[in-house]
Chains A and B, each alone.
Chain A
Amino acid sequence: MWKMCSKVPKKFVKNKEMKKENKIFLLFISLAVTMLIGVIVQNVVSVTKPKTVQLQIDVNKVKQEIKEAGLIPKEALHWKEL
């Protein structure tokens, strides 16, 4: 066992002449990883941010539309304040 381990070369010899196909492959891999990180970040943000959206309602405009339509609001039955 010891003998087998000792046979592992101590230095990693880098091939400086990287093939063109390998370069494209590496580029593709890095792009895919970047996109994956982007998706993960978006998902995490969507889970952690508040679920409700603050509605922006122009109450005066709503009241004006109701008035123009000739409707007279009347207090409803069966509701509660939160």
Chain B
Amino acid sequence: MSKVVECQLCKKKCQLVEGQKGDCRVRINLDEKLQTLVYGNPCSVHVDPIEKKPLFHVLPATGAFSIATAGCNLHCKFCQNWQISQRSAEETHNYDLPPEKVVSEALRNGCKSIAYTYSDPVIFYEYMYDTSDIAHRKGLLNLMITAGFIEEKPLLDLCPMIDAANVDFKGITEEYYEKMCGAELAPVQKAIVTMRKQNVWVELTNLIIPTWNDSEKDIQQLCRWVVDNVGPDVPLHFSRFWPRHQLKNLPPTPVETLSIAWEIAKKEGLNYAYVGNIPGHKGNSTFCPKDGKLLVKRIGYQVLENNIVNGKCKFCQSKIPGIWS
């Protein structure tokens, strides 16, 4: 009888017999050890503007060397990257890119950071961890774009390596997480709080999906949770949904809904609320919470004007939280 191993990376805690893969499709019990199949084998490699992550309070207008592997520990019905996230590593076309090479390629492309993104980097934890370590030594920032569905212990080990994270805060009810993502809300909320406590710069993204999480009550509740638990200075990005994957029957989120969400966030006390996936919306830009002046003018991912000098508002000198240099 071969030994059963338990993965302790996320709340699912998959128990695997010899040859069996976890729910993420990329962690497997082989030779009575839990092994990762995606170390050094990303299937997506791009240079993106950091605004695409979105991280609006981290080195604006710089490039982020972005990598992802196959697999994910969530199964969101609206996934925008389902072609890689809902596949195993045997099904995707992969690059041979060990950690040292990721860092050298990032530097060669003039990037200031490395983003672990597209699918959820939690499932390529070891690859992200080792790459982050080398990247730090070479003066690059590490950005984790995640759903935050990770256990406390691995997260605490990882936090010193990560400079900034955008956590996809998908909804405010357990029912939503269960039905739409095959996951749980509580561990995500815990991870957001832990990251903040560990001095990781955190921004949050809430994808608003018509009929699912677009009620004013849900948005208000979500904003209140953010203010009460991680503070009003954590930026919250409301993102427009486009019909994808298993939710092609729904329409894109109306612009008006996102504008209402943006107003609710400000009303609830959030200092930095944004609207994404609608280029030209006023909510693309950063405004000083003290004097209301335009700090960073953006259209989509493009930065047209930056009035933050040494991390302060150029006009009133008030400190703007984030990583600016």
Partners in one complex: yes
Interface positions of A (Cβ within 8 A of B): 55, 57-59, 62-63, 65-66, 68-82
8 Å CB contact of A76 from B17, B27, B94: B27
Binding site for A on B (CB under 8 A): 3-9, 15, 17-20, 27-28, 30, 32-41, 89-90, 94, 96, 125-126, 129, 151, 153-154, 157
- Greatest chain B CB density within 10 A among A59, A73, A76 is at A76
- In the complex, are the beta carbons of A72 and B40 less than 8 A apart? yes
- In the assembled complex, the CB of B181 is this many whole angstroms from the nearest CB of chain A, namely 21
Measured in the bound complex, the distance between the Cα atoms of B28 and A8 in whole Å is 77
Q: Which 9 A-B pairs rank lowest in CB-CB distance, beginning with the nearest?
A: A79-B34, A57-B19, A59-B19, A73-B35, A69-B90, A74-B39, A82-B4, A76-B34, A62-B19
Which single member of A57, A66, A74, A79 contacts B20 (CB below 8 Å)?
Answer: A57
Q: Which residues of B contact A63 (CB under 8 A)?
A: 19, 30
CB distance from A27 to the nearest CB of B (A): 45
Contact present for A71 and B41 (CB under 8 Å): yes
A74 proximity list for chain B (CB < 8 A) = 35-36, 39-40, 126
- Give the chain B neighbours of A59 by CB distance below 8 A: 18-19, 30
Task: Known A-B contacts: A66-B90, A68-B90, A73-B36. Give 10 more (CB < 8 A).
Answer: A57-B18, A59-B30, A66-B37, A71-B38, A74-B40, A76-B36, A78-B154, A80-B5, A80-B8, A81-B3
Q: How far is the CA of A31 from the CA of B158 in the complex (A)?
A: 64
* Whole-angstrom distance between the Cβ of B166 and the nearest chain A Cβ: 23
Instruction: Indicate whether A79 sits within 8 Å of B5 (C-beta atoms), given known contacts A71-B41, A72-B40, A73-B37.
Output: yes
Chain A residue nearest in CB terms to B33: A75
Q: Pick the contact of A82 from B3, B89, B151 — CB < 8 Å?
A: B3
Given contacts A55-B17, A57-B19, A66-B90, whether A79 and B6 have CB atoms under 8 Å apart is yes
| Interfacial chain A residues near B36, Cβ < 8 Å | 73-76
- With a cutoff of 8 Å between Cβ atoms, the chain A residues found around residue B19 in the complex are 57-59, 62-63
Residues B89 and A76 in contact, CB atoms below 8 Å apart: no
CA distance A57 to B39 in the complex (A): 23
From B33, B90, B153, B157, A65 is in contact (CB under 8 Å) with B90
Q: B94 touching A80 by the CB < 8 A rule?
A: no
Contacts of B154 in A (CB 8 A): 77-78
Q: How far is the CB of B274 from chain A (nearest CB, A)?
A: 33
A35 to B27, CA, bound (A): 45
Residues from chain B with a CB closer than 8 A to the CB of A55 are: 17, 20
Known contacts: A57-B19, A80-B8, A82-B4. The answer to whether A73 contacts B28 by CB under 8 A is: yes
